[in-house]
C-alpha cells in the first residue's frame, strides 16, 4: 500500500487528465530518464497524444509552484520515498513528457525489466485507486444534491404551511378583538 501511495503522490492533473511524468516513471523503474525517453522515442508510434504529451514551459512552472506551495504548507510531512523529482527540473534541456494511464500501460511493452514490471503494476493500481476514490466522491456529491433537492421541495411546502397558520392566527386575533371590543350605543333588551 505504501508503494501505491508513493505512486499516487506522483500523479498530477494536467490538461484535464491524470498523468505521471517521465522523470517519476524513470525513478520508479530505477532507470535514467534519458533511457526511458530513448525507449519511448524508438517506439513513438505506440504513444499517440492521448497516451503521452510534452509539457509546456507554463505547465512546468505551474507544477513547480504547486510543489513549492505543498512543501511550504507541510514541510515536516515530506517522505524520502514520496519526494517528487519536480525540484530537480531546473537544468534539463528538454521539457518533461507526461504519460496518461494508457501511456503507462503501453510503457510495459517497451521497458521489460523486473523492476519496471513490478512498478508498472503498482502504477496501474494507483490509477485505479484514484478513479475509485473519485467515483465515491462523485457518488456522494450526487446523493447530497438529491437530499438538497428533496429538502428544498419540503421547504416550499413548509413555507405554505407557515403562511396558512399565520393567516389562521391573524383571523383568530381579529375575531377576538371584534368579540372583546367595548360596545357603545343602545343596549337592546327588556330592562330599558
In this structure, is residue 84 part of a structural domain?
yes
Sheet holding 11-14, edge to edge: 11-14, 17-21, 97-99, 52-54
What is the average per-residue pLDDT within 5-32?
86
In this structure, is residue 174 part of a structural domain?
no
What is the average per-residue pLDDT within 143-154?
75
The Cα-based distances of 28 to 23, 125, 169 in angstroms read 9, 14, 74
Percentage of residues in the chain having pLDDT higher than 90? 18
Report pLDDT digits (tens) over 23-41: 998 998 888 999 999 999 9
In this structure, is residue 171 part of a structural domain?
no
**107-116, 148-157, 180-189, range with greatest mean pLDDT:** 107-116
Host domain of residue 32: 2-139
In this structure, is residue 176 part of a structural domain?
no
Would you say the pTM of this structure is higher than 0.85? Answer: no
Average model confidence (pLDDT) across the chain: 79
Q: What is the dihedral of CA 140, 69, 85, 7, to 10 degrees?
A: -10
In this structure, is residue 36 part of a structural domain?
yes
What is the average per-residue pLDDT within 128-155?
77
How far is Cα 103 from Cα 127, in angstroms, rounded to an integer? Answer: 12
* Residue 116 pLDDT grade (very low, low, confident, very high; cuts 50, 70, 90): confident
In this structure, is residue 123 part of a structural domain?
yes
In this structure, is residue 46 part of a structural domain?
yes
User: How many domains is the chain partitioned into structurally?
Assistant: 1
In this structure, is residue 108 part of a structural domain?
yes
* Cα angle for residues 58, 62, 66 (degrees, 5° grid): 175
What is the average per-residue pLDDT within 64-79?
66
Given a cut of 50, whether residue 187 has pLDDT beyond it is yes
Residue the block writes with cell 508510434: 45
* Residue 86 pLDDT grade (very low, low, confident, very high; cuts 50, 70, 90): very low
pLDDT of residue 58: 92
Amino acid at each position: 500500500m505504501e508503494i501505491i501511495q508513493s505512486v499516487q503522490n506522483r500523479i498530477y492533473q494536467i490538461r484535464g487528465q491524470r498523468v505521471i511524468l517521465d522523470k517519476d516513471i524513470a525513478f520508479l523503474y530505477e532507470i535514467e530518464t534519458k533511457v526511458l525517453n530513448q525507449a519511448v522515442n524508438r517506439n513513438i508510434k505506440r504513444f499517440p497524444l492521448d497516451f503521452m504529451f510534452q509539457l509546456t514551459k507554463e505547465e512546468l512552472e505551474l507544477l513547480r509552484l504547486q510543489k513549492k506551495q505543498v512543501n511550504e504548507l507541510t514541510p515536516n510531512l515530506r517522505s524520502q520515498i514520496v519526494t517528487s523529482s519536480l525540484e530537480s527540473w531546473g537544468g534539463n534541456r528538454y521539457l518533461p513528457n507526461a504519460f496518461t494511464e494508457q501511456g503507462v500501460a503501453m510503457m510495459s511493452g517497451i521497458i521489460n525489466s523486473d523492476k519496471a514490471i513490478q512498478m508498472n503494476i503498482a502504477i496501474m493500481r494507483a490509477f485505479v485507486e484514484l478513479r475509485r476514490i473519485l467515483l465515491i466522491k462523485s457518488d456522494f456529491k450526487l446523493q447530497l444534491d438529491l437530499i438538497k433537492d428533496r429538502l428544498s421541495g419540503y421547504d416550499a411546502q413548509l413555507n405554505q404551511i407557515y403562511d396558512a397558520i399565520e393567516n389562521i392566527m391573524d383571523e383568530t386575533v381579529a375575531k377576538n378583538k371584534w368579540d372583546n371590543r367595548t360596545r357603545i350605543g343602545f343596549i337592546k333588551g327588556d330592562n330599558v
